[in-house]
Chain A
Amino acid sequence: MLTNNDLITVPQAVVLMIMTILEIGLLILPREVAVYAGSDGWILVIIGGLLALAGSLVLSTLIRRFPGDTFIEYSEKVVGKFLSIVLGISLVIYFTFATAIVIRTFAEVTNAFMLQNTPREFIIITQMLLTVYIIRHGIEPTARIAEILFPILIVPIFAMYLNALPKADFTELLPVFNTPIKSLAMGSLNTMFSFFGIEILLMLGPYLKRPDKIYWIMFVSVGVATLIYLFVVIITFVGIGVQNTKLLIWPGMTIIRMITAPGKVFERLDALAMALWTIASFTSSNSLYLTGAITFFHITKAREFKFFITIMFPWIYFIASLPPNIVATERLIYLVKLGSITVGIFIPAVILLLSIILKKKGGTA
């Protein structure tokens, strides 16, 4: 296994999950829900959160069914060695892409809002090096980092967005339930994509100190993430208006640009928001990158996992610098979100069904 104390506690797991889920969605979710449902967007967040919760139930049930086993191990029991390795490799590819788009989006936003003239490659490379620095220490330190950074991220986010309230126009939320069911469904599905990151649990199952608390971990982390997303979406809607939200690339960032801090300490808060966004993106890429390396490590059953971090490094860099512009990046993000549904919910669901049909079970550790 990794190191001696590679088990993560329940609060650590919760925080790690929340910090993984919270990233790109913070900036682009308001636009997406506005495009799908207009002023009903916040309902989409709730439904999307519930859908993500349902999806996570599949993951949790799998982990409860095979306590202490890695995904590769129990998929081998259910679908055979060859298919389990194929699944594992597809997971590695997925996590490589996921890490790459998190880092790429970060570089995009940084270029747009903070460092206009800095080469994108510099931002990508430095952010990746920072990520490698922590994940080389293993899973428990990564969770610890998330634990430390969680309050540093959450408290200022709330404090910052609350500054938008004095100018808020709550009538923007008003035509409620005005959206056709079809676009509501499509939108909810799309919102659910914003919760990508929950599939890291697929790999982290064997490293939980209390696998029996998995449902609780799931419920709290997805619930808190939903609440934070809901908060951000509502504030963005009432702050800059639904119609404007549709037109902005990163409405979550734009609204912060409009806020003036009380007391005029800062003219604009966007630099502060960028600092927080660095944290959000950093923790997210940490867990995705680490999970990818750990999947690799489980497939090969090697003695240590640090080697795989090195293997993945050039690929992540390559994919992160692949899209030529923001449009292509958005397309890649969409692709990764589809992949998230496939590997995060669809495949585990199939394996869970098969394991129930074939009556395979793990030990009762």
Chain B
Amino acid sequence: MSNIFSKLYNNKKRELYFERDMSPDKSRKLKTDIKENLRIVHEYLSDCDDVITRTFYMGQGNKHQMSLMFIDGMVQMQTVQDDILKPLMLFTRQFPLEYNVGEKFFNMVKEGLLTAGDVKEIDNFGEVILGILSGDTILFIDKMEKALIISTRGWEKRGVQEPSTEAVIRGPRDGFTETYRTNVALVRRRLKDPNLKVKTIKLGRHTRTDVGIMYIQGVAKPSIVDEVLKRLNTVDISCVLESGYIEQMIEGDWLSPFPQLRRTERPDVVAALLVEGNVAILCDNTPFALLAPTTFLSLFQSPEDYYERWYIVSMIRILRFIAGFFALTFPALYIAMTTFHPGMLPTDLALSIAAAREGVPFSAVLETLIMVVSLEVLREAGVRLPGPIGQTIGIVGGLVVGEAAVRADIVSPIMVIVVAVNAISSFAIPSYSVAISFRLLTFILIALASIAGLYGIMLGLLGLTIHLVTLKSFGAHYLSPFVSFRFSESKDTIIRGPLPSMEIRPGYTRPQDFDRINDRRHDTIDKAGDESADK
């Protein structure tokens, strides 16, 4: 009995799911009569003043009635006029056409007359509505149970510009835009590989946003691709305005302060990581692509790391990790050292800190909190204000207020240095999402350090390590090359080895094809008889 009930319940649930399904309702077929079709479409799109219906006759004698439907501003008017209306209305007048409504006539329109690039047949209202709303043009033909969908999408859009959040000194300057197709094309241009697959689904009940996943077949592990698709298909959300919605809906552990998908504005990063076996998720209306799986280490990497020579990159990477450490712990260390373990500092330094703090009325903890919080406020204010004023805020806040606060003995000058080093360090981390979570964790460490000094910091760091060790991003260990360590992977970790020596792809994506570089230099060098260059 209960079995039957549960079955009933399940059925009901599934119906509900279909109702809310994002794919268009394909069950309602088009009618023969064009007036009936137009009436139904207008029923769907009632009170939508931006929908334009253009009814016209083809050929001589006004016999073949046709209708175009599209949304003003979302189509390229040039295409509609030159490739649809002109051939259908003008050219056909010059030749007598036999009045023969049917499959043959329909095919003649589709294959012989329309000069638009992308034309498809559809036979249901679901796709008609979705097509109109996506910026395509629908051509209804009288006496036909089919309609033509002509791709005329084109709207005002931002051009390809240099990405603002991931600037590089050496490397391509183009970044993603808000248009999905442009973004896909930017990646495709870099990977002329038939194995590069793009699968598009629509997400968001109201937004019907195009969301595409890209991967290279034969490199990306199929289970990861399936996992990404599975998680995307479970997303049932009313709107997807930015890839951040998707990121938050499909990440495994939403209690974690760390991003489990890497996001980037740069097509070259996407291309590079696709080759390493990642899966990219591109979303319409946003210049940010998501990449899965990701590792903690990859969030400390910049695309430039692979363009520059390896000595320089290795040094920069080590600097970044030091910066990361300071971004996380510096204020907490200051509190621990001054409040709990002054004996650990060199005597001169301890004395000068004590002298600097002499007039300050607050405890070191409160002093740190005041400074760190006000710095966060300054940072936020600088982001919100328009460019020129943002810089003013930096100068007024940082220099004037900081200097005045020190003069007024509210904070000690050492504190200003500590907070400044901490802030600058956090900006040296390439990934903004990691930098911001580090700044969040700084507060936790400050609290722990004020409770138990260095032991508190160790507690915090060990807890963080435990969290990172157990965190997984789409099946890949977040701390990937360091857990289940393999020596061959160590060339692309804290340092970056010479490019020819990095012969395999990183293991965290568990790629099907491990070969990255076949070092062929020795072949030619041996031929030249230069033995000294060997090894």
User: Which residues of chain A have a CB within 8 Å of any CB of chain B?
Assistant: 9, 11-12, 110, 114-115, 118, 122-123, 126, 130, 133-134, 137, 141, 144-145, 147-149, 264-272, 274-275, 278-279, 282
Q: Are A118 and B452 in contact (CB under 8 A)?
A: yes
B347 at the interface (CB under 8 A from A): yes
Q: Are B347 and A267 in contact (CB under 8 A)?
A: yes
Among residues of A, the one whose C-beta sits closest to the C-beta of B448 is A126
In the bound complex, residues from chain B placing their C-beta under 8 Å from that of A123 are 452, 455
B454 at the interface (CB under 8 A from A): yes
Q: Are A145 and B465 in contact (CB under 8 A)?
A: yes
Q: Are A114 and B484 in contact (CB under 8 A)?
A: no
User: Given the interface contacts A145-B466, A149-B465, does A126 sit within 8 Å of B452 by beta carbon?
Assistant: yes
Docked complex Cα distance between A211 and B528 (Å): 50
Q: Are B462 and A11 in contact (CB under 8 A)?
A: no
The answer, among B345, B452, B469, for a CB contact under 8 Å with A267, is B345
Q: Which of B454-477 contact A (CB under 8 A)?
A: 454-455, 457-459, 462-463, 465-466, 469-470, 477
Q: Are B346 and A274 in contact (CB under 8 A)?
A: no
Docked complex Cα distance between A110 and B482 (Å): 29
Q: Are B453 and A148 in contact (CB under 8 A)?
A: no
B483 at the interface (CB under 8 A from A): yes
Among residues of A, the one whose C-beta sits closest to the C-beta of B465 is A148
In the bound complex, residues from chain A placing their C-beta under 8 Å from that of B466 are 130, 133-134, 137, 141, 145
Among residues of B, the one whose C-beta sits closest to the C-beta of A141 is B470
| Secondary structure type dominating chain B contacts | helix
Docked complex Cα distance between A267 and B347 (Å): 7
In the bound complex, residues from chain A placing their C-beta under 8 Å from that of B213 are none
In the bound complex, residues from chain A placing their C-beta under 8 Å from that of B485 are 11, 147
Docked complex Cα distance between A282 and B459 (Å): 10
User: Given the interface contacts A130-B462, A144-B469, A145-B466, does A264 sit within 8 Å of B346 by beta carbon?
Assistant: yes
Nearest CB on A from B463, distance (A): 6
Nearest CB on B from A314, distance (A): 21
Among residues of A, the one whose C-beta sits closest to the C-beta of B345 is A267
Docked complex Cα distance between A40 and B469 (Å): 42
The answer, among A133, A134, A148, A275, for a CB contact under 8 Å with B454, is A275
Q: Are B470 and A137 in contact (CB under 8 A)?
A: yes
Task: Give the 3 A-B CB pairs with smallest separation, nearest first.
Answer: A271-B344, A278-B458, A134-B466
Q: Which of B337-353 contact A (CB under 8 A)?
A: 340-341, 343-347, 350
Docked complex Cα distance between A268 and B349 (Å): 13
In the bound complex, residues from chain B placing their C-beta under 8 Å from that of A137 are 466, 470
Number of interface residues of B (CB under 8 A): 28
Q: Are A271 and B454 in contact (CB under 8 A)?
A: yes
The answer, among A144, A149, A268, for a CB contact under 8 Å with B343, is A268
In the bound complex, residues from chain B placing their C-beta under 8 Å from that of A133 are 463, 466
Among residues of B, the one whose C-beta sits closest to the C-beta of A136 is B470
Nearest CB on B from A163, distance (A): 15
Could you give, for residues 62-96 of chain B, a 1 whenever the CB lies within 8 Å of some chain A CB and a 0 otherwise? 00000000000000000000000000000000000
In the bound complex, residues from chain B placing their C-beta under 8 Å from that of A141 are 466, 469-470
Docked complex Cα distance between A129 and B302 (Å): 37
User: Given the interface contacts A9-B484, A148-B483, A275-B458, does A266 sit within 8 Å of B469 by beta carbon?
Assistant: no
Could you give, for residues 472-495 of chain B, a 1 whenever the CB lies within 8 Å of some chain A CB and a 0 otherwise? 000001010011110000000000
User: Given the interface contacts A118-B452, A130-B459, A282-B462, does A148 sit within 8 Å of B343 by beta carbon?
Assistant: no
Q: Are A147 and B483 in contact (CB under 8 A)?
A: yes
Q: Are A279 and B462 in contact (CB under 8 A)?
A: yes
In the bound complex, residues from chain B placing their C-beta under 8 Å from that of A268 are 343-344
In the bound complex, residues from chain B placing their C-beta under 8 Å from that of A12 are 484
User: Given the interface contacts A12-B484, A134-B466, does A114 sit within 8 Å of B459 by beta carbon?
Assistant: no
Among residues of A, the one whose C-beta sits closest to the C-beta of B350 is A267
In the bound complex, residues from chain B placing their C-beta under 8 Å from that of A149 are 465
In the bound complex, residues from chain B placing their C-beta under 8 Å from that of A144 are 469, 477, 479, 483-484
Q: Are B463 and A122 in contact (CB under 8 A)?
A: no
Docked complex Cα distance between A278 and B336 (Å): 16
Q: Are B346 and A267 in contact (CB under 8 A)?
A: yes
Q: Are A115 and B463 in contact (CB under 8 A)?
A: no
Nearest CB on A from B472, distance (A): 10
In the bound complex, residues from chain A placing their C-beta under 8 Å from that of B463 are 130, 133
In the bound complex, residues from chain A placing their C-beta under 8 Å from that of B350 are 267
Among residues of B, the one whose C-beta sits closest to the C-beta of A11 is B485
Among residues of A, the one whose C-beta sits closest to the C-beta of B482 is A148
In the bound complex, residues from chain A placing their C-beta under 8 Å from that of B346 are 264-267
In the bound complex, residues from chain B placing their C-beta under 8 Å from that of A11 are 484-485
User: Given the interface contacts A115-B455, A144-B483, A147-B485, does A271 sit within 8 Å of B341 by beta carbon?
Assistant: yes
Q: Are B452 and A115 in contact (CB under 8 A)?
A: yes
